[in-house]
Structure 1
Amino acid sequence: MNPYLDIIIRSASVYLFMVIALRIFGKKELSQLNTADVILILLISNSVQNAMVGTDTSLWGGLAAATVLFVVNFILKKLMFRYKRLNNLLQQKPEILIHNGKIDFDILSKLGITSDELTEAMHEHGVEYYKDVKLAMLEIDGNISIISGDKNLKQTHFKRKRAHKSLGGIN
């Protein structure tokens, strides 16, 4: 087999594996990387390097692998934009945490969001009490958005801080 075709197949396979792995481990893990997450990402990139380039550690082999990753990423994003079912499969949906002052404890528990994190997000948005929140959502990028009835609130962005856990997931 042509060595560059081998690199193309290997790189595309690793890319698709990583997309699926990130989909399984969830959006909340992507909102803010801590030290353990950065280390995990570096180790993953090192561990899959040989899987992508095989024995070809030349400059051209590395450039071929990087080019394949960019191209596959570009194609996947275009396909996700064009095909809603693929987008729904690969991209998670926003989750409603509070609706009209009522907290959805089941969703908070499922997502591993503590009441302290939710309170911190509310304070970042200038809201003191849960009852004043019209809508609080965990967005697909891992941020928590807060909408209240107060027209004087400023727009802020709250990056969810992940509780320190074992390296069981990549958030």
Structure 2
Amino acid sequence: MEQFITIILRTIFFYVLILIIFRLMGKREIGELSILDLVVFIMIGELAIVAIDNPKQSVTLTSVAMILLMIIQILMAKISLKSKRFRDLIDGKPTIIINRGKIDEDAMRKQRYNFDDLLTQLREKDIRSIADVEFAILESSGSLSVIEKMNNPNGEPKEGDITIPLIIDGAVEEENLQRINKTNFWLRQELKKLGYRDIRQISFCSYENGKFFVDILDEE
């Protein structure tokens, strides 16, 4: 009976503790969890299970380990906010699987992503045919973002475009520049025409349908 009560009390305690830890770690949807988030969540869950299942396991030591994991996750999240390179290392980069209606098989191979995966995720988004897709982007979370082809008023297909980030956190995205067949020099010259001379002061700059969107770092 005493062991039964102990298990109940430990279950309630760790339930509350995990709720507090996850709340402090920030709000993230399940589909948006990074590899780091998943590792931390799994480890915290395993620690709680072991402590509940084994009454001899120290509640204090288990709680300390769980709190330490929370601190590690928060510190990593702060580093990731400041470092694009670190974000790419931990979370990976989005991959364009379908670009302007054409499937990029090489990108699929690099992501170990097959046609069954593609068709399944398209069906989940109520897309009946690949021919209806202008862009399909495999996000770092594993979800697929789809942009369907647009039509002119006469019903004929019309080319669309997606937002191409060219600068993130003051750093130029050289890979995206190559994707649109532009150079670093071109980007700097175009931004100078718009009055932006210091790229390090730009938190985000994108290029879509021939137009720039620029957001200055910490601008109110």
Structure 2 length normalisation: TM-score? 0.42
What is the DSSP-based 3-state SS (H/G/I as helix, E as strand, rest coil) of the residue aligned with 1:79? helix
Q: Is the 8 A contact 2:80 2:86 kept in 1?
A: yes
Task: Point out the structure with max Rg over C-alpha.
Answer: 2
What is the DSSP-based 3-state SS (H/G/I as helix, E as strand, rest coil) of the residue aligned with 2:135? strand
What is the DSSP-based 3-state SS (H/G/I as helix, E as strand, rest coil) of the residue aligned with 1:113? coil
Q: Say if 1:142 and 1:133 are closer, same or farther in 2 by CA, change over 3 A.
A: same
Question: 1:81-120 to 2 correspondence within 5 Å?
Answer: 81-120=81-120
Shift of 1:150: 4.4
In structure 2, how many angstroms separate the alpha carbons of the residues matched to 1:123 and 1:137? 15
In structure 2, how many angstroms separate the alpha carbons of the residues matched to 1:144 and 1:136? 7
2:123 equivalent in structure 1: 123
Equivalent residue letter for 1:103: I
1:64 equivalent in structure 2: 64
Shift of 1:119: 1.6
Equivalent residue letter for 2:66: A
Q: Is the 8 A contact 1:80 1:87 kept in 2?
A: yes
Shift of 1:128: 2.5
- Structure 2 stretches lacking a partner, 5+ long: 1-29, 32-40, 51-55, 152-220
In structure 1, how many angstroms separate the alpha carbons of the residues matched to 2:79 and 2:115? 37
Shift of 1:105: 0.9
More strand by share: 2
Deviations 1:117-139 (A, max 9, x none): 21222223232322321110111
Question: 1:13-92 to 2 correspondence within 5 Å?
Answer: 57-92=57-92
Q: Is the 8 A contact 1:102 1:130 kept in 2?
A: no
1:146 equivalent in structure 2: 146
What is the DSSP-based 3-state SS (H/G/I as helix, E as strand, rest coil) of the residue aligned with 1:128? coil
Tell me the matched-pair count.
107
Shift of 1:70: 0.5
Equivalent residue letter for 1:95: T
Which structure would you say has the larger RCO, counting Cα contacts within 8 Å and 6 or more residues apart? Answer: 1
Please tell me the root mean square deviation across aligned C-alpha atoms, in Å. 3.2
What is the DSSP-based 3-state SS (H/G/I as helix, E as strand, rest coil) of the residue aligned with 2:113? coil
Shift of 1:90: 1.8
- Structure 1 stretches lacking a partner, 5+ long: 1-29, 32-40, 51-55, 152-171
In structure 2, how many angstroms separate the alpha carbons of the residues matched to 1:86 and 1:96? 21
Deviations 1:25-64 (A, max 9, x none): xxxxx96xxxxxxxxx979x769x99xxxxx941111111
Fraction of identical pairs, as percent: 26
Equivalent residue letter for 1:79: I
Deviations 1:49-84 (A, max 9, x none): 99xxxxx94111111101100111111101110222
In structure 2, how many angstroms separate the alpha carbons of the residues matched to 1:42 and 1:76? 16
